[in-house]
Amino acid sequence: MIILEAPAKINLALDILHKRSDGYHEIDSVMQTIRLADQVTFEYNPQFELTCSDGRLPIDQRNLAWRAAELLQQVTGVSQGVKIHILKNIPIAAGLAGGSADAAAVLTGLNQLWELNLSTEELMNLGVRLGADVPFCIHKGTARAGGIGEKLTAIRSQLHADLLLVTPNVEVSTALAYNRFQAAEALQRPQVGRVVEALESGNIEQLTQAWGNVFEELTVIDFPVISQLKKIFCQFGLKANLMSGSGPSVFTLNPPTALIEPLCKALPPQWFQCLTSF
C-alpha cells in the first residue's frame, strides 16, 4: 500500500495575459502549496477501482484521477489494475486545484506502485495533458507559472505563514471565469515580479501590497458571495485578503489569534473554514 498527500495550492498572484489561438489563456501566476491536503491511497488490485470519501465526486472517467490512471496505462502499456481511494479534505471547485492535486498524486503514486521509473519531468509532461494545474501539483512548493500554467520556475521562498482559508458553499467553473475575460478590460493586475521578490526576501508586507488576482473582478459578477466574504475579512481588520484561482476561496495571511474565533463565528456555518499554513 502507498499513501500520498495531495496538497492544495493557492495563487499569490494571478494575471491573465491574453487568449491564445488554441483557445487557452496565457497566464503569469505565482503558485504556493499549502498544508491542506487530500489523502490518496493505492493498493494492488486485479481491476481498476476508484473510491472517494465525498459522494458528490464521480468515480469514473469524469474524475481527473481516473483519467490520470488511464493516461498512464495508455502511455506505458501497463495492464495492471489498482484500487485508489481519495480522502477528500480540499473543497470541490474552490480555486484550490483539488482535482489537479488528486490527479498529480495518482501519476506519482502509480509511478511508484507500478515501478515505471518515470522522471518528475516526464510526469509533469503527462500532467499538462490532464489539466493546467497538474504539473505544479507534481512540482509542489513555490513557483512562478507561465504558459497555461505548465511553464514553472521554482521560487526560493523565504516566507512561511499561517493562513485562514474560507470557501463559500458555491462551486465556480474555471471555464466560466475564463470566458468572462477580455484582454482590453482594465482589471486590477498583480505585480508578479514584486511578489516573487517578496517571497525570496521573506517580506510579507511587500507580498500583500503586490499580490492580486484578475479573476476576482470577473468571478464576483456571478458570485457576489465572494464580495460578502471579503467584506467580513475587512470588518475584522484583515484588509489584505485574496481570492485563490477562479474562486470562490479567499485567504488572509497570519491572522491575529484573537480574531480567528470571532471571525469564524461571523461566517455562515455552511462555509468551509480552515486554518493552515505554508
Q: Which of 15, 38, 133, 230 is catalytic?
A: 133
Which pLDDT score is estimated for 22? Answer: 87
Strand partners, 2: 42
Write down which residue in 154, 176, 198 finishes a domain. Answer: 154
213 and 229 in a single domain? The answer is: yes
pLDDT band at 186 (very low <50, low <70, confident <90, very high): low
CATH number for 71 = 3.30.230.10
Write down which residue in 119, 154, 189 finishes a domain. Answer: 154
167 and 143 in a single domain? The answer is: no
Write down which residue in 127, 154, 181 finishes a domain. Answer: 154
Q: Is 162 a catalytic residue?
A: no
Contact present, 50 and 86 (Cβ < 8 Å): yes
Q: Is 9 a catalytic residue?
A: yes
**168-182 pLDDT per residue, tens:** 999 888 777 787 777
32 and 58 in a single domain? The answer is: yes
pLDDT of residue 157 exceeding 90, the answer is yes
Which residues make Cβ contacts (< 8 Å) with residue 170, sequence separation at least 6? 223, 225, 248
170 and 220 in a single domain? The answer is: yes
How big is the CA angle at 146 (ends 143 and 150), to the nearest 5 degrees? 80
174 and 64 in a single domain? The answer is: no
**55-97 pLDDT per residue, tens:** 999 999 999 999 999 999 999 999 999 999 999 999 999 999 9
24 and 142 in a single domain? The answer is: yes
pLDDT band at 153 (very low <50, low <70, confident <90, very high): very high
Which pLDDT score is estimated for 188? Answer: 79
119 and 200 in a single domain? The answer is: no
Question: Cis peptide before 248, with omega less than 30 degrees from 0?
Answer: yes
**Mean pLDDT, to the nearest integer, of 92-105?**
97
CA distance 9 to 12: 10
What is the tally of structural domains in the chain?
A: 2
Which pLDDT score is estimated for 183? Answer: 59
Using the structure block, give the residue that is written with the C-alpha cell 495508455.
74
Q: Which of 9, 88, 140, 230 is catalytic?
A: 9
The residue segments making up the domain with residue 233 are 162-277
Q: Say if residue 109 is exposed, middle or buried (CB neighbours under 10 Å; 0-12, 13-18, 19+).
A: buried
CATH number for 218 = 3.30.70.890
**4-18 pLDDT per residue, tens:** 999 999 999 999 998
If you compute the radius of gyration of the chain from its CA atoms, what whole number of angstroms results? 19
Instruction: Give the residue, 51 or 79, on which the prediction is more confident.
Output: 51
247 and 111 in a single domain? The answer is: no
150 and 167 in a single domain? The answer is: no
**Mean pLDDT, to the nearest integer, of 134-143?**
98
Which pLDDT score is estimated for 19? Answer: 85
216 and 267 in a single domain? The answer is: yes
Which pLDDT score is estimated for 7? Answer: 99
44 and 93 in a single domain? The answer is: yes
**Mean pLDDT, to the nearest integer, of 199-219?**
96
Using a pLDDT cut of 90, give the percent of the chain over it: 87
148 and 270 in a single domain? The answer is: no
pLDDT band at 185 (very low <50, low <70, confident <90, very high): low
